[in-house]
Amino acid sequence: MSWSQDQMAARAAHELQDGFYVNLGIGIPTLAANFIPNGMEVQLQSENGLLGMGPFPWEGEEDPDLINAGKQTITTLPGSVFFDSAMSFGMIRAGKVDLTVLGAMEVSQKGDIANWKIPGKMVKGMGGAMDLVASARHIVVAMQHVNKAGESKLLPQCTLPLTGLACVQKVVTELGVFGFDDHGFVLLERAPGVGVEHIKTHTRGFLTAHGSEPEISWP
C-alpha cells in the first residue's frame, strides 16, 4: 500500500531538525507544515515575505490576507514577521535556509531537479526554486513517483529544463524514500506492502535496492 500525500508530507517533515529555518514548496511539500513534531521549534519561511508560518487553518477560520507563496491560506505563530520579497530572497541567497522541501516534475539519478517548466504547457513557474536549490543547505523532494501518463519521474537524466544540478539529497514518493550514491538512486525506506520489484519497475534511473529496506508507516 503506497503512502498518501499526507503520509508523504509527514515523512518529509521527519527530515526537519530543531532550530531549522525551512522553506516549503508548492503542493505536497506545503502539507509538511501540519506534521512538525511536537516540541520541535522550526521557523517556516515563504518567498512572498513571511517568517513564522503555522499549520493550515481549519475550514471557516481562513484569513484571505494571509497566504503563502502558492496563494494558499495559512496561519501565523507568535513572533511571526512580514517583509517584502526582496528581503525574503535575500535570506535565501544568503544561505539562511537550512532545509527546503520541493516538489518536482523530474529528478535524475545524479540529484538534478526539474520543477519549473514544461515546454508548451502553462505551469506556475519557478517561484523561488532556483534560489533555494542554489543556497539551501539541505534539499528534499516530495513528489509522486510517476507522472499522469504513468511514466517514472526518477530518471537517468532529466528531460525537462533544469532547476538545479546535483543538489537533491533525498526524494520522498508514495512508494518510498530514496537517497543517492555514485551510481544513482538508493532505496532507503519502503511504504508498507510495496515490494522492491514494484519500485524498480517504476524507476527508470539506476536504483540500488537490497530488499532489506524497512517498511515504514506514517500517520
Active site (catalytic) residues: 47
Residues 57, 72: Cα–Cα separation, whole Å: 10
CB distance 187 to 199 below 8 Å? yes
Q: What angle do CA 178, 180, 181 make, to 5 degrees?
A: 145
Residue from 37, 32, 33, 34 nearest 18 by CA:
37
Fill in the amino acid letter for 125.
G
**Cα separations (Å) of 114 from 16, 102, 131?**
23, 11, 13
Residue from 172, 115, 164 nearest 136 by CA:
164
Residues 84, 155: Cα–Cα separation, whole Å: 37
The residue count of the chain comes to 219
Cell 511539500 locates to: 29
* Cell numbers standing for residue 177: 524514500
Q: How many CA atoms lie within 13 A of 189 on its CB side?
A: 19
Residues 30, 114: Cα–Cα separation, whole Å: 18
